[in-house]
Structure 1
């Protein structure tokens, strides 16, 4: 019997209500009463009523406030509001607070009876659903024979090292009808939406539901066995005699897909491998089905995908060109976020328009990310500052994505994170690099083989990045700075009394005295010999 509590400030109304209905015949019993919402809240936890009949207009705490408190405290009781005509607007508000129904006073016994019966039916239905869910959970735990599951899992993933005779003995022992002329593997994967929170329990329940539907559809036409692989995908090993049409297999799996899409809040994708003669080639068909399944990234999810249909997909398209790479590098170095976003959008737009194999898609994403990682290395930034610990394996992270949209979103986010980090830290990093270059020139300007390659190598910096940063921060190139520095040092030597042009040229890093002379004249307007002569005349005049 379900329990009912009456909450009304009128004593005689409560008493009348107790005797006005044949409660036991309705499958109900009065478990308690209260004269206002506050008193009802104090009693409800102990009484635990299934249904609470509440007057909307009461002193201390009215029916609306009581309904609000019940909802806030997540108390499991269904509320029936009683109201007069003048409070009809309040009744609407009560419905928004989770109240199941309301009746107008004076209460009509037939209406009250019908309302209570409806509420009782709803409660019983909810209880039955909970029972069914609990049964389903128990089936997930108990109905999978572990030995059979392990054997099939080893078979599809190629982990079995036992001989043919032992395999067939094991099949017989586990009472599986797998002795056939051909074998073909299909793999079913739930299309998980990253924007939806899936608990492990949710995943297990839905996969089990998909398994039941698949069994029901296939058992009329095929002998088959089922198991789960290491990624919780449902694997179906079809045991064929050779006379089954490929179109029939595809049609039945399409029916599975359609039913799941119709009756559940998610979709599935199905990959189907080619036929194989030997039972030990089941693993080959399984791998083909996985390849077919992975191509949902390019052909779309919620589909049945045959390996034979993706085996011919283009594998040689050059979707990430040298021009794309150069543009991304330049935009990263200049911190142009909008340009980066536009380049990536165009690349992925091109990807969507091509009939490509998923492996090509992975290659494109890895090539794009290599540009981001190259800039991070150039800047001397730690990868951990851009990639969290669980994202350091870029290829693995890309492979986890369920769609091209997810891939594009993740790649865009990583580029944005890198650019923002570089912008935030560029002034300190750049100034430190400029000072290192100047210090290196000061220590090595006398080396006539000194060049930018040598500097970059010794400073552990990318050549292009070094040139770009130096020009951006100082306004001149490294070669211009080096020449100016050397000529200035040569002038100092001439001013201190050195009069041999060849000797001075060598001391400041010029192996060719003639070239040194041209550089010196460019800066001071005089050839070195003429400058020395002027210095000597000034000393003589003194």
Structure 2
């Protein structure tokens, strides 16, 4: 980005002052040009509207409107303009008041060229920095505009997958859809049929052709979003609840068949009233599509009519349970317990609460947690096992309080076992690393990244667990081991310092000597004398 030429004006009721400032330094050499002058504040405001300067140099003591009032008005209407006050008053109160008005600099009369040049140069750098930052923001906004469609599609797929941060979901949704006023969401899945002999490129082109046709067909249907899911199925999300999707689906099925000779399986899920239920409507639409494939027809299949027995009145607490399992796997007991408490609080507040459903949720919790631990490799080949008796005991309980207490105790137990197992694994790894260090002390390549690579560990993670175990950093520990080996060799051999340095993996004998004195408190020669 090129350097900006700064446009400046001078405001002073004395003509000599107005003439002096533009010539007191070589303004062109520091990137300035004076584009105007004014003899009072009112005149200056008119000039600013016309010339749009970057910097205003102004006196304080002027008739009609002083420099401080002018500064205040400039900051109100033109907050980006920089103001430099020139005054003969050195009092602190004046300076403070100027700064409170948004003045960037405060220069005392008589003007000194060096001081003026210094202030001007600092302001130029500040303005250039702001301009570069503004240009960067504009470039980012342009990139955002260019990628808006892809970002929106990514967000919609996150909704289908249930991947979101709860606290950000509402803001993100209204960022992409600012016209959203009420929440009624229905998902339709359209899966074009493909020939078995079609290659991947033909399949993708066929899907793109179908989607382009649907985009054109639904251009007047406000509130229906058309996009691909992660499996290249065409998704319609009616987010305003204004349209009858079964009828839309029938029209699209006929049009695709007649215009593109494309047969498609079409499924529609239930209508949802919250963002978080969109994924449920999507899953139901997928089930309806699958049902249509089994039936072998090209009709539109509606989940509630074809598969379900009624409206969705209750569902398993999959998301809430997965959140609890996350905290368990992370070893954060208090957060996991809070999630269990929240899970049961929602159950208690549910209008469709029953003991049977509470048992079902509790059993799902235990089985999901057990499956997650198995996926983590925790219960490998019978090496470790958990007491899963809570799973059976749940079905004998009639009290939600007892179920909650049982799950919280089970959660605490599992976290403690996980932490214990991880500590055992970490301790074993650190012990192996320590053995490796002793065996490879002569290796000049020995470093944090070298050792972490040998043990297939992330270097940041390895650095953290190593310091937790030893109390010092890996680098300090390695240096300590090398110096201990050096002391042993000094005691048992008559080797020269450079030979010992090479033996402990340090190529530079001068660096070795410095390290030895740093760790041992004496030089190599002083230590040798002490053992004679």
Q: Which TM class, normalised by the smaller chain length? A: 0.3 to 0.5
TM, length-normalised to structure 1: 0.34
Task: Please report the TM-score for the alignment, with normalisation by the length of structure 2.
Answer: 0.34
Of structures 1 and 2, the larger Rg is shown by: 1
